[in-house]
Amino acid sequence: MDENTPILQVDGLNTTFYRNGSALAALRDISFSVARGEVLGLVGESGSGKSVTLRSIIGLARRYGDVTGAVRWQGRDLVGMADRALRQIQGREIAMIFQEPMTSLNPLLTVGLQLEETLRAHTDLSRTARRDRATEMLDLVGIPSASQRLKDYPHQFSGGMRQRVMIAIALAANPKLLLADEPTTALDVTIQAQILDLILQLAQDLDMGVLMVTHDLGVVAQTCDNVAVMYAGRIVEQGPVRDVLREPRHPYTVGLMRSVPENLPPRSPLYSIPGVPPGLDALPVGCAFAPRCASCIAPCSQDRPTLSLITEGRQVACFNPIATSQGNAA
């Protein structure tokens, strides 16, 4: 297969939740694709819809609200797929790991059982073969004396080790795409790098696409090939990581980058984007970022800018994008 043929193609994905009678537009018109072996980052503030995007792709969100649009997985649409058929893809072809290793493993079951049940659902392996495979997986993610630790419960592992266990479970059935929902946010900084390296290494070894959700631009810079910046349920900017980070075009991306404290003298005030994101039940008519935007111009509050191609591979949804300044690092 051609390197650039997308395995996942998300097209016009909308997700709506209903709370106390009002509709929350959690996702609107999300479109992107992930190629085999590609690492795509989704960044944005809390509540921008990164997590919901992953949960909409893998079929968790539809239990809680309406999901429309298309999620094409190797030619099949997952959005309208029956639960039974979807289960053949969940965990087997597309796997997901969660943010909180403390709460994402069942506290009452041994990690061995939680690993083996995935294998049991998705492979024809015998009981002993499953045990061997489970040991192999724990070993692969770097858990010492793996075969003995199968009998242990999640609370007997440290946070970083638990995240490794979760990765082992997710990858047990050899998925082609990994959805990683802020996999390092809950971990110590030193452990973060280890886990990211592990994910990247495994993705490369197993030729697996990764959709990495994070609010940390540093993580994006280190790990991703391409990045999509999300704001209030929409993608506002998208492109190759190097280009986007070197030359952000959307004012929100610029704001996000300025919020990362870097090369600052001690005790200088930290920058944060003024204001707060709009509520999803009361989105502004025009651009959702307009009320907080320094580059806001007249049409911004009336019309919503669509995500459109501005240069090769770069898409921005803005009426007044930041001008390029060739050669200047952001």
Cβ 236 vs Cβ 286: under 8 Å: no
Residues of this chain, 172-191, that bind another protein according to CB under 8 A:
179
- Among 7, 105, 165, 245, indicate the residue that binds another protein (CB under 8 A): 105
Judged by CB, which is closer to another protein: 122, or 304? 122
Binding segment (CB under 8 A) for another protein, from list 36-44, 138-146, 165-173, 321-329: 165-173
Q: Which is nearer to another protein, 106 or 145 (CB)?
A: 106
Burial track 123-154 (b if 16+ CB lie within 10 A, e otherwise)? eeeeeeebbebbbebbebbbbeebeebbeebb
Binding string, residues 26-45; x marks residues near another protein by CB under 8 A: --------------------
**Among 58-66, 186-194, 261-269, 272-280, which window interacts with another protein (CB under 8 A)?**
58-66
Inter-CA distances, 280 with 19, 27, 53, 63, 186, Å: 11, 9, 15, 19, 26
Choosing from 106, 204, 302, 308, the residue that interacts with another protein (CB under 8 A) is 106
Say whether residue 107 binds another protein (CB under 8 A).
Answer: yes
Does the protein bind another protein through residue 66 (CB under 8 A)? no
Closer residue to another protein in complex, CB, 184/238: 184
Comparing CA positions, the residue from 273, 270, 289, 257 lying closest to residue 48 is 289
Least separation in angstroms between CB 159 and another protein = 14
What's the rounded Cα separation, in Å, for the pair 24 and 228?
A: 21
Q: Is 221 in the site for another protein (CB under 8 A)?
A: no
Least separation in angstroms between residue 21's CB and another protein is 12
213 binds another protein (CB under 8 A): no
Which listed range, 97-105, 134-142, 259-267, 271-279, lies at the site for another protein (CB under 8 A)?
Answer: 97-105
Interaction of residue 91 with another protein, rule CB under 8 A: yes
Give the residue, chosen from 9, 48, 118, 223, that forms a contact with another protein under the rule CB under 8 A: 118
Query: Is residue 121 a contact point for another protein (CB under 8 A)?
Result: yes
Question: Of 177 and 217, which CB lies nearer to another protein in the complex structure?
Answer: 177
Q: Which of 17, 36, 60, 281 binds another protein (CB under 8 A)?
A: 60
Residues 133-162 contacting another protein, CB under 8 A: 153, 155
Phi/psi region, residue 216 (left: phi>0; alpha: psi -120 to 50; beta: rest), is beta
Instruction: Evaluate whether 288 touches 232 at the Cβ level (below 8 Å).
Output: yes
Q: Which residues bind another protein (CB under 8 A)?
A: 55, 58-60, 83, 86-92, 95-96, 98, 100, 103-109, 117-118, 121-122, 153, 155, 166, 169-170, 179
